[in-house]
Amino acid sequence: MADNPFLVFDFDGVIVDGLSEYWNSARKACISLLKDKQHLPMLPHDVPEAFQYLRPWVEHGWEMVLIAAELIRPNSLLAKEDYKVFTENYHEKCFEALEKWQWEPIKLQTALDTIRREDIKNDFPYWLNSHKIFPHIKNRLNELQKEGNDIVILTTKNAEFTSKILNSLNIKVNLLYGYESGNKTDILIKLSENRIVKGFIEDRRATLEKILTNQKLSSIPCFLASWGYLKPNDLINLPNGITLLDPQTFASPLANWN
């Protein structure tokens, strides 16, 4: 119905756990960019501990490709396994690494998207199976729709790939916005101008904190998904306006979430 309220969900870390796919795609994209380089160490097939640790800091796909490259750049923090130091000024470290490699984010994002399209074309079942839906999510999304809410996916993943995963899981959503649609704040503003937004469920505390600072979005309840890719200190001293959402509460009526 046109007057149904919106419930807005992030995708990676909230709907699906795709860590193995993230690493596999980032690894292949990095190799494609470095094919002319000589004498660099090989990237492992298994997800490195540093990549897994850094995942909660990642906001855009290109950062994963950069992390893969930094794991094998001689004398980089990640090559020396100082990945906790890397997170202390994560965004600064990323842009320093971009300068070292003389890369632009769009180049890395394009390489990542190209690899994903190749994997979808060559081995679609394997690509799909590397994304695992969180067990408490699927049925609850269907229930929330039946309870009169329109489900919106708002993700920094490419909408094309997100749609393929949702379709394979037989998850129907009302609206889907990928990174091509712009930043999350602007999209939430547009959504809230048309209808009530009953909640925004996200596993990046920094994103939720940014939402809280925008006066146009002050009425949107923000929920931090406890099952997502959280940083070690994300649960400490949550600010007013952000509610921790665990699977048990998520399964309860929407009115009980706050």
* Domain spans in the chain, listed from the N-terminal domain onward: 6-17+133-256, 19-128
Q: Identify the CA nearest to 50 among candidates 89, 20, 77, 73.
A: 77
Break the chain down into helix, strand, coil percent, rounded to 5: 50, 10, 40
Q: How far apart are CA 101 and CA 63, in angstroms?
A: 13
Answer whether 244's CB lies under 8 Å from 232's CB.
no
Q: How far apart are CA 134 and CA 129, in angstroms?
A: 13
From first to last of its 258 residues, the chain has per-residue pLDDT tens of 468 999 999 999 999 999 999 999 999 999 999 987 767 788 999 999 999 999 999 989 999 999 999 999 988 999 888 888 999 999 999 999 999 999 999 999 999 999 999 999 999 999 988 999 998 998 999 999 999 999 999 998 999 999 999 999 989 999 999 999 999 999 999 999 989 999 999 999 999 999 999 999 988 999 999 999 999 999 999 999 999 999 999 999 999 998
In the three-class reduction of DSSP (H, G, I as helix; E, B as strand; rest coil), residue 178 is classed as coil
Answer whether 60's CB lies under 8 Å from 109's CB.
yes
Consecutive H or E run containing 195: none
Q: Identify the CA nearest to 185 among candidates 157, 163, 207, 168.
A: 207
- The CATH architecture annotation of domain 6-17+133-256 reads 3-Layer(aba) Sandwich (3.40)
